[in-house]
Structure 1
Amino acid sequence: MTLVLNLIGVLVFVAGLLISIAWHELGHLSTAKLFGIRVPQYMVGFGKTIWSRKKGDTEYGIKAIPMGGYIRMIGMFPPGEDGKVSARSTSPFRSMIEDARSAAYEELEPGDETRLFYTRKPWKRVIVMFAGPFMNLVLAMALFFGVWMTYGIKQQTTEVATVSECVLKQSQNRDVCKDGDQIAPGKAAGLLVGDRIVAFDGKQVKDWAALQKKIRDTIGPATLTVVRDGERMDLKANLVANQVAKSDGHGGYVKGQYVDAGWLGFGSKTVIAPLSLGESLDYAGQYVETSVQGLVNLPAKIPALWDAAFNGAERQPDSPVGIVGAARITGDLAALDLPSEERASYILSMLAAFNLSLFLFNMLPLLPLDGGHIAGALWESVRRHAARIFRRADPGPFDVARLMPAAYVVAAVFVCFTLLVLVADVVNPIKIT
């Protein structure tokens, strides 16, 4: 049964991947057609075409390898200086430029002169290129909000789940008290499992993040107001300075980092509870912020990823994963011995995180990514506006094709990184327990 559930999870991820790709390309397609740009092809996948159908002037199809997708627009790049597609030269860089320019015109038909991508105003080109990643962002937020506002997320509460016996630094590799260890302030104050802390020094606390901050900001006497068996009571505690895990500012912790702060000595109860719309918006902001930081830190994770792939090192939980790894994780999630709604929430969240990653990755201002074309259109707009202000001749369209040598370098780096992640996902995958 476990194998069947695992396979179902993988198939669900593959289906979600194809939908995400098709949804992304639909953003490009719909806006391109809106602005009168001819689109000869709309394809999901790469490689051999396994199904296609032509409707109007666009061929819609599915290809064999579900690793991406594309639409082909006429006139992505402006013609050469002579107004034509330049002849091939002996320069390798020039050949790259001319190959890209030639591909943009290879399906040019009579009447297409007014339907070329590069002839559209920069703001229209920005919309066309941004529409694809934006669709992934919309899908990601729809999935996230659907999970957060219906099923919920794991949240720490102000209810006491455990009470520490003694004062121990959280960086110490032990959780057993020894003779001579100082009694934990919470235990000395009479804090019991099941107590719900509702106020700290007379000020009401509604959530764990607020309570955590008050505790960490306090060293010395404090009054805890708790609800025990339906009755309110005050407990007198004397908080001590201790080495604790660094807070992320939202009630969570930063792995492997410690700070000195006030300490009470108890573990809070964790529950799964739905979020309100306002809480979901706030949580989405935190999630996007964390994802952006993860993208920025990606290069620093490559050495550990290499060691995990080729040197047998332990795979880090926050290690980058590719499509194979994500499919494998989704399969593992589907096979967990958990309630079906909890497994479904994890899988939907996985697909949402994948779509958010697609959005952030594609917004990098590098060719051949969508962000690179957006940057080119914005730069053209700046040049033309500057020319008008200083009463100079219109510089014309910015020739993004001239950046194709750099685009090939970027593509080569991405291919190498993808292969590295693939090897790590196969030989040393991240495992869900």
Structure 2
Amino acid sequence: MEILLYLGGLLFVLVGLGISIALHELGHLVPAKLFGVHVGQYMIGFGPKLFSRKIGETEYGVKALPVGGFISMSGMYPPSPGEEDTASRGAFRALIQDARAANDETIDPARAGRVFYLLPVWKRVIVMFGGPFMNLVLAVVIFTVLLSGIGVQQGTTTIASVSQCVLSAGSTQKTCAPSDPVAPAAQAGVRPGDRIVSVDGHSVSTFAQASAIIQASPGKTIPFVVERGGSRVTLQLTPVAAQRQAVDQNGSPVVNDKGLPVMHQVGYAGVGAQLAYVQQPITAGVDQAFANAGSVVSLISNLPVRVWDVGVSLVTGTPRDPNGPLSVVGVGRIAGEVATADAPLLNRFAVLLSLMGSLNIALFVFNLVPLLPLDGGHIAVALWEGIKRVWAKAFRRPPPKPVDATRLVPLTIVVAGLLIAMGALLMIADLFNPVKLPT
């Protein structure tokens, strides 16, 4: 059964990734066709073709490796200016000319006016931005379903458990010893099933609010009003001072420069809350999507360092940063582990949805990096041509020729090579030193 669940998690990621890629390429295809560009192919995946079907002038198909996709548009770049002697001009010139020759083959003389490079700048930007934009839209939909449909699991004001004694931070003790001090909640008479109404005179609607007041009141006796059996009962609660590890705004433990936990003193009562899914406002999905996008931008800005750290962890066997980059293999492994986790089915499904939402945000942000062959590189080329045209018009000069992006082919090959190398390293690391999920 566990193997089937693990495979189910992998299948969830593969299907989700396929849908994400298909919608990404659809985001390019639809505006390209609307603007009259001839599109020869719409393909999901790379490598050997599994199947395809031609509808109208476009061949639609699926290839063996589900790690990307593409559409083939006529005339991505201007045609070659003329014959060049590639043998006498070095390897880079040869690469440029080969790219021009391949581009020229996509330009059908019968469709000479239906080429990408002749589109106005704004239309080219829309075509190239359409792919990442679809990933953003899909992520917003996923996060909206997750947060506003399913909800966020939060502690309610209903008490689920009451500790009978106070244990030191980090203790593995599971039962109370006679010498252990009685927990404040148990001493005050709090019972499981009580619903917290107010703490220290402040009405509370979430357990987090009640917990914040308790933590801010070590050693202070405060009124603790609960609803029990339809009646309100006022108890006197005196939280004890306890040392607990500090956490940041994301709930992650805080450590100092030496890697040691940062401790601080808080009030402790010894109560646990019942958990429930609380639906969030309809705008929460948008907020979550852009919050994730900010995290991905931060990761990409430090990508060389992050990838180097992954390589060091692979060689030394040290634990990897759970917030570091992953390959598709790593995402699949995490999905499999989530699917087999000892947790309610709804909890596991929510985590898998969150994973797919984050994956689409990563696709959105990464594809906008202004380097060819990424979509952001094509957008940058179009915008540069637009700037040149505005400059020429402002100074009453003849309109400039279309920007010949084939001159950037050597740089494109270097970028593509680095992306392939990075992907290979991440895949190897995800196989032999995967990210460990918190238990």
Q: TM-score, normalised by structure 2?
A: 0.81
CA distance change for structure 1 residues 353 and 388 in 2, over 3 Å: closer, same or farther? same
Q: CA deviation at 1:211?
A: 6.0
Corresponding residue for 1:179?
none
**What letter corresponds to residue 138 of structure 1 in structure 2?**
V
Corresponding position: 1:273 with 2:272:
no
**Equivalent position SS for 2:246:** strand
**What letter corresponds to residue 245 of structure 1 in structure 2?**
A
Q: CA deviation at 1:57?
A: 1.8
Corresponding residue for 1:59?
59
Distance of 2:289 and 2:431 partners within structure 1: 31
Distance of 1:222 and 1:122 partners within structure 2: 69
Corresponding residue for 2:267?
264
**Equivalent position SS for 1:318:** coil
**What letter corresponds to residue 50 of structure 1 in structure 2?**
L
Corresponding residue for 2:401?
396
Q: CA deviation at 1:345?
A: 2.7
Question: Identity, % of aligned pairs?
Answer: 38
Q: CA deviation at 1:47?
A: 0.9
Which runs of no fewer than 5 residues in structure 1 stay unpaired? 177-182
Q: CA deviation at 1:343?
A: 3.0
CA distance change for structure 1 residues 137 and 369 in 2, over 3 Å: closer, same or farther? same
Deviates more, 1:203-212 or 1:112-121: 203-212
Alignment of 1:45-124 (within 5 A): 45-80=45-80, 83-84=81-82, 88=86, 90-124=89-123
Corresponding residue for 2:176?
none
Corresponding residue for 2:150?
151
Q: What is the CA deviation profile of residues 242-281 of structure 1, one whole-angstrom value per residue up to 9, with x for unaligned ones?
A: 6642331x6x335546667672225763624142314444
Q: CA deviation at 1:39?
A: 1.0
Contact in 2 for aligned 1:309/1:420 (Cα 8 Å)? no
Decide which of 293, 309, 321 is 2:298's aligned counterpart: 293
**What letter corresponds to residue 147 of structure 1 in structure 2?**
L
Corresponding position: 1:407 with 2:412:
yes
Contact in 2 for aligned 1:85/1:102 (Cα 8 Å)? no
Distance of 1:158 and 1:307 partners within structure 2: 46
Q: CA deviation at 1:193?
A: 6.5
Deviates more, 1:69-78 or 1:5-14: 5-14
Contact in 2 for aligned 1:363/1:370 (Cα 8 Å)? yes
**Equivalent position SS for 2:112:** helix
Q: CA deviation at 1:117?
A: 0.8
Q: CA deviation at 1:361?
A: 1.2
Distance of 1:392 and 1:402 partners within structure 2: 24
Alignment of 1:125-204 (within 5 A): 125-157=124-156, 190=188, 192=190, 194=192, 199=198, 202-204=201-203
Which runs of no fewer than 5 residues in structure 2 stay unpaired? 174-180
Q: What is the CA deviation profile of residues 134-165 of structure 1, one whole-angstrom value per residue up to 9, with x for unaligned ones?
A: 11122222222223233333224556666696
Corresponding residue for 1:23?
23
Q: TM-score, normalised by structure 1?
A: 0.82
CA distance change for structure 1 residues 6 and 260 in 2, over 3 Å: closer, same or farther? closer
Contact in 2 for aligned 1:25/1:71 (Cα 8 Å)? yes
**Equivalent position SS for 1:317:** coil
CA distance change for structure 1 residues 302 and 270 in 2, over 3 Å: closer, same or farther? farther
Contact in 2 for aligned 1:87/1:98 (Cα 8 Å)? no
Alignment of 1:328-347 (within 5 A): 328-347=333-352
CA distance change for structure 1 residues 24 and 166 in 2, over 3 Å: closer, same or farther? same
Q: What is the CA deviation profile of residues 216-246 of structure 1, one whole-angstrom value per residue up to 9, with x for unaligned ones?
A: 7888968565425252647576897966423
Q: CA deviation at 1:112?
A: 2.5
Contact in 1 for aligned 2:140/2:285 (Cα 8 Å)? no
Q: CA deviation at 1:91?
A: 2.7
